[in-house]
Chains A and B, each alone.
Chain A
C-alpha cells in the first residue's frame, strides 16, 4: 500500500479524533479523502507535526494523532526524546514510513536504508512503539486509541504518490476551525 491508500483506510478512525497532519502530500491527501474541522493541515514547516501534536495533547484531554512521515521525523529527530520524556497518554504519533521523501519526488530517506525509526524511538525512551505492516495500520491505530497509552506507530509501506490539488484554505481559517473543534 502507498500512503494515500493507508489514509483512505484509516479515515473513518481519524474522523473522530484530533489530527495534526504533516506538510505536503499527506495533508493534501487527507484533505481530499475526508476533510474535517478536527484536521489541522500543515502548509509549511517540515518536521513539526509530532511537536505540534504533542503540545496539543499536553494542553488538553482529547486524543491527538500526529500523522508524520519518516523523512519529517528524521528532520526533527529531537522530537522523539521530548515525546518519551513528556508522556501524554492521549497522544499517538503515526509515522507512515515509506522510506522516501514523497512530496519532493520520492528521494530515498535513511529510514528506508539502515536506520530503523522503531529502534530509534525505543532508544529515545518511548515505551509503546509498534512497527506494523501497511495493511495492519487501521487495526494497530484503533488499538492504540483504545489503550489510552501514548503510542508511537511506525507503519511500513510502499512509496508512491497520487496526483491531487494543493490546499487553498487560508491558514488562519484552518487554525480557527481546528481550535473550535478542539473546544467543542
Chain B
C-alpha cells in the first residue's frame, strides 16, 4: 500500500470525513487520495487560517475535520490556533509537510523550518515528526489522541519521509 493511501485510510478509519487542504508538492499524493475518497468531503482552502475556520465549523456540525498544509502555515495560523481552535477547545489533526529539512533544495524554506518546532512548542501543540515510513505507524494513535483531548496536533512529515524531491 502506498504511504499516501495509508495516511488517508487512517483518517477514514478514525471517522475523519471533512478535510481541507492547501497545495503542497510533497503532500500531492495524499491530497489526491483525499479528493478521490468517497467518505471524505475535500474542500481546498485559499489560506490555512480560512481552512481552520472551515474545520471549526465542520467539527461543530458533527464531523471530524483535518487540515493538510505546509509548515510555513504555522506562521499564518498562530492567531487562529490560539483564539479559535485552542480557545474553544476543538480537535484538529494537522498533517504538515516539513519543508526546509534535510534534502531541501530551496534555501528560503529553511527560514521557516528553523522556527516550526519552536512555534509549535510555544503554542503547547503536541507535535510528532515523521522521518521514516514506519513512523507513520503511529498515525492511528495520534488521531485517536487528537480527538480524545480536543486539541490541535501537528504531524510534521519531512523530505526523508517522502523520499526526497525526486532528483535530489
Contact = CB atoms under 8 A, between A and B. Distances in A.
Partners in one complex: yes
Contacts of A76: 47, 49-50, 53
Contacts of A178: 60
B90 interface: yes
A26 interface: no
B54 interface: yes
A58 B18 contact: yes
Given A44-B79, A54-B57, A55-B57, A172 B43 contact: no
Nearest to B85: A45
Given A48-B80, A78-B47, A86-B43, A175 B88 contact: yes
A145 to B, nearest CB: 18
Contacts, number: 117
Interface string B42-82: 01111101111111111111110100000000000001101
Contacts of B58: 55-56, 58-59
A51 interface: yes
A1 interface: no
B83 interface: yes
A81 B41 contact: no
Interface of B: 18, 41, 43-47, 49-63, 65, 79-80, 82-84, 87-90
Contacts of B89: 171-172, 175
Interface of A: 20, 40, 42-45, 47-60, 64, 76, 78-79, 81-82, 86, 171-172, 174-175, 178-179, 182-183
A147 B86 CA distance: 36
A172 B51 CA distance: 21
Contact of A51 (B53, B83, B90): B53
A81 B46 contact: yes
A48 B87 contact: no
Contact of A53 (B49, B51, B57, B65): B57
B56 A48 contact: yes
A42 B51 CA distance: 16
Contacts of A175: 60, 88-90
